[in-house]
Amino acid sequence: MSLDQLLDGYQAFIEKGFASNADRYRQLEALGQSPRVMVIACADSRVDPATIFNAGPGELFIIRNVANVVPRYAPDGRAHGVSAALEFAVKVLKVSDIVVMGHAQCGGVKALLMDSADVEGIGEFVAPWMESSHEILDRVMCHSAGHDVETILGQMEEENVRLGLANLMTFPWVAEPVHDGRVRLHGMHFGIAQGRLARLDPSTNTFVTVPRSGPAAGNGGGASLP
Ligand SMILES: [Zn+2]
Q: Same domain, yes or no, for 10 and 90?
A: no
At residue 121, the pLDDT reads 74
Query: Into how many domains does the chain fold?
Result: 2
Distance 180 CA to ligand 1 centre (A): 32
Residue 171 lies in a domain: yes
- CA gap 226, 212 in Å, rounded: 15
Say if CB 206 and CB 200 are below 8 A apart: yes
Ranges of residues in the chain whose predicted pLDDT is under 50: 117, 219-226
At residue 216, the pLDDT reads 59
Integer-rounded Cα radius of gyration of the chain: 19
Distance 171 CA to ligand 1 centre (A): 24
Q: Same domain, yes or no, for 52 and 118?
A: yes
Cα–Cα distances in Å, from 79 out to 66, 75, 82, 152, 187?
17, 10, 9, 33, 26
Q: What is the pTM of this model?
A: 0.91
Residue 90 lies in a domain: yes
Residue 160 lies in a domain: yes
Q: Same domain, yes or no, for 19 and 113?
A: no
Q: Same domain, yes or no, for 79 and 94?
A: yes
Q: Same domain, yes or no, for 83 and 111?
A: yes
At residue 31, the pLDDT reads 96
Nearest to 61 by CA among 29, 95, 102, 12: 95
Residue 221 lies in a domain: no
Q: Which amino acid is at 105?
A: Q
- CA gap 105, 108 in Å, rounded: 9
Distance 73 CA to ligand 1 centre (A): 22
Q: Same domain, yes or no, for 55 and 6?
A: no
Q: Same domain, yes or no, for 123 and 65?
A: yes
Distance 216 CA to ligand 1 centre (A): 24
Residue 140 lies in a domain: yes
Residue 29 main-chain phi, psi, to 5 deg: -75, -40
Q: Which domain holds residue 12?
A: 1-32
CATH code at position 131 = 3.40.1050.10
Distance 29 CA to ligand 1 centre (A): 31
Return residues with CB closer than 5 A to ligand 1 (ion).
42, 44, 67, 106
Residue 89 lies in a domain: yes
Q: Same domain, yes or no, for 23 and 43?
A: no
Q: Same domain, yes or no, for 111 and 6?
A: no
Q: Same domain, yes or no, for 25 and 53?
A: no
Q: Same domain, yes or no, for 113 and 82?
A: yes
- Express each pLDDT in 99-154 by its tens digit: 999 999 999 999 988 765 466 677 788 888 998 898 999 899 888 888 899 999 99
Distance 108 CA to ligand 1 centre (A): 6
Residue 214 lies in a domain: no
Distance 102 CA to ligand 1 centre (A): 7
Residue 215 lies in a domain: no
Q: Same domain, yes or no, for 95 and 4?
A: no
